[in-house]
Structure 1
């Protein structure tokens, strides 16, 4: 089944399709209070930052960056809510038809195929993108005095905490980009607490945090999709908006360890898009290549792509501070799930239940890295790593499979053509071998 998603340029945009399963959302430049879209598929506060109502003024200098933000918002929204079981072929690959107005029609048509292929690699779906020219000029935004030297994505996880701590030793003005959804996971409050900890410990660096709310909206047709393979695209687009507000060359930093970034399938059943590709080198280089072709000079960088999670912690700056605070970070794939649903006392109080399950893939990799540095504590998690056998058995299978560099290389190259040198590929392979050994030592212990 083909699902049509139409982005409205503004409240005067009358573009529509009469096909069944056609859904709408607004451009980031449309005030939600004046929107004419009924049953919209996303809610967000990006407009408040663009209009200065959040205290920080976003003013991208390149209209291509604004175009990409609208593309990302459209992609993220439908990926979040359209369940694969109902709309996917054999319960997986869905067919999305995006209709998006852009300020730079010729340039986006130049990379149309590249973008569709990149999105398909990211989510495992078929994406067809139809661009149309905007009918009105780019909105006049207030000039911003805010200028960051680096923009760093900050989820509240262990890697992002290390990433910011490393950056503040090199740059005196940093912006952090956080994204949260609704619910009781506690992500937003945790992100704010950790940023405040970093600010308090580093008075000489100006750290400007941005906390964006973006949430796909379910409706009578869409009940929500748990995999959400395309979730990283909105995170990157928000970072790019801030980076381009600062300068045409300010980079967006993704602090992500190489093991989880490469994310080779732990078992045969987790091949292809059944393993997330949110920071995979093929995806990141694909986006950077698209940006280069059309004229976006800001780049996406992952300085930890050749490091394991344990190595990130071992080699980080300000090690004493990081080691003291690192257990406050959140790595779980379902943050707050047990805290939300578990009642452990007669009065319903669950304050002592951990936000982190302890047995999902990110939790196991986290605990392995902490174990390597003598910091792992099982009591920090809701359950032990083997209490849920799925991911535990998958890691044991991977440990028995990825025993040589040739096996890792063969699996890595299944991703297809990547704009990487032979030296970079070798470094990825060596890192992955070290990462698997890191997890192996922890599990066996």
Structure 2
């Protein structure tokens, strides 16, 4: 088991056991091991304050993300499932003792979590000069929308603003200074040009485990895990903190297509937590129940939960705007991979999200190899069976042409609320979109398709 203690009071005693890793929450300070802000200090928190319940929840999201990033899966007996223990400072331990937080984390990351809360009267935002003393709204907006810079979140913002001309949104993005952050800023500027700055506020969260330095009481080990599954919890808990600063009924929107939401494994090797569960309906429902037990009432809404990616593009409320902005969006799992082989960075073209992106854009006539580092339909070097870059494409081809029983829809988790048939339709339609795209393949891809069918 790997143990962590989160401290929001830097003067509190360190764990006597040196093997316990310490996550010090001190926004904007070099002594922090949860790093928030970059050059801009703790600017994310400027001018607003959430209720303590929502701040404690955000602390959980931040801690879970940093725990996930600093605990290496290769050290687990099965090279995946870790045992993770976290001591978390909160305002009310009674609420945390009665909330089913651990099963939510277990399902999301595929690990075994143990969360022990301990009382800390000191606010997580103590000593931050630009934070109000009382609960204060982040902005005069009607909702908070997660904004990754991907195609789904871009479409979601456009549709929400088109649906109600009076609606105002606060867009939340999270980054670690990567290519996605550039896409987020470029898209936000274009959206503001179109809809007006007054309708779109934004908060950008830079948060990660801090690199070791001499100011830290107990620096974190240097290794970083790249199979992180807890990022969505960080993203959602930060959005919930923002929304709760406005009112307990202010919604959090998480626009993501239902096909990737249920994320049925393409092959048996990708079963279970090896397939992400960021917006899986069981995760969203379980998280909603847990946060209500913790005193946070804000609803989490996915407007695309029962649509494929192709459908959300075809049914967008402003197709002209979306088509013009889509090339700026980043849907990729690793948008900076191309720099190592001196290719243009952006959408790599060969990961699963990029393949779904291209298949969905083909549904509306927007597909093309431009804007991708590799062309999955013609790149001979990509289709070499000995390269790891081809693994997602081979899995897609195997998965969409196989005879798949309906029960496969449950392989990444149960479907709650009697919506099995609705998500089954989404899954089958998503497979059809991928199959249609591959059926139009030429050259090397066509040969690979024929060989694997």
**Shorter chain as normaliser: what TM range?**
0.7 to 0.9
Cα deviations by residue, 1:86-136 (Å, 9 ceiling, x for unpaired): x2122111111100011121011001xx21111011111111011111143
Does the 8 Å contact 1:46/1:212 carry over to 2? Answer: no
Residues 443, 145 of structure 1: alpha-carbon distance in 2 compared, 3 angstrom cutoff: closer
Q: Residue 376 of structure 1 aligns with which residue?
A: 367
Residues 286, 430 of structure 1: alpha-carbon distance in 2 compared, 3 angstrom cutoff: same
Residue 188 of structure 1 and its aligned partner are, at CA, apart by 1.7
Distance 2:312 2:92 in 1: 40
Residue 227 of structure 1 and its aligned partner are, at CA, apart by 0.8
Three-state SS of the structure 1 residue aligned to 2:366 is coil
Does the 8 Å contact 1:147/1:247 carry over to 2? Answer: no
Distance 2:38 2:62 in 1: 10
Distance 1:334 1:158 in 2: 15
Deviates more, 1:318-327 or 1:289-298: 289-298
Does the 8 Å contact 2:335/2:347 carry over to 1? Answer: yes
State the Cα RMSD in Å.
2.3
Paired residues in the alignment total 414
Q: Residue 201 of structure 1 aligns with which residue?
A: 194
Residues 181, 434 of structure 1: alpha-carbon distance in 2 compared, 3 angstrom cutoff: same
Q: Residue 8 of structure 2 aligns with which residue?
A: 9
Q: What TM-score comes out, normalization by structure 1 length?
A: 0.87
Distance 1:47 1:379 in 2: 34
Q: How does 1:23-422 map to 2 (within 5 A)?
A: 23-27=21-25, 30-33=26-29, 35=31, 40=33, 42-45=34-37, 53=43, 56-60=46-50, 62-85=51-74, 87-111=75-99, 114-136=100-122, 141-142=131-132, 143-144=136-137, 146-169=139-162, 170=164, 171-182=166-177, 185-203=178-196, 206-217=199-210, 221-338=221-338, 340-343=339-342, 353-385=344-376, 387=382, 388-401=389-402, 403=404, 407-408=405-406, 410-415=407-412, 420-422=416-418
Residues 412, 70 of structure 1: alpha-carbon distance in 2 compared, 3 angstrom cutoff: same
Residue 172 of structure 1 and its aligned partner are, at CA, apart by 2.6
Three-state SS of the structure 2 residue aligned to 1:25 is strand
Q: What stretches of structure 2 of length at least 5 have no aligned partner?
A: 213-219, 383-388, 441-453
Residues 12, 296 of structure 1: alpha-carbon distance in 2 compared, 3 angstrom cutoff: same
Q: What TM-score comes out, normalization by structure 2 length?
A: 0.86
Distance 2:403 2:184 in 1: 35
Does the 8 Å contact 1:69/1:238 carry over to 2? Answer: yes
Q: Residue 438 of structure 2 aligns with which residue?
A: 443
398, 418, 430: which one aligns with 2:425: 430
Q: What stretches of structure 1 of length at least 5 have no aligned partner?
A: 344-349
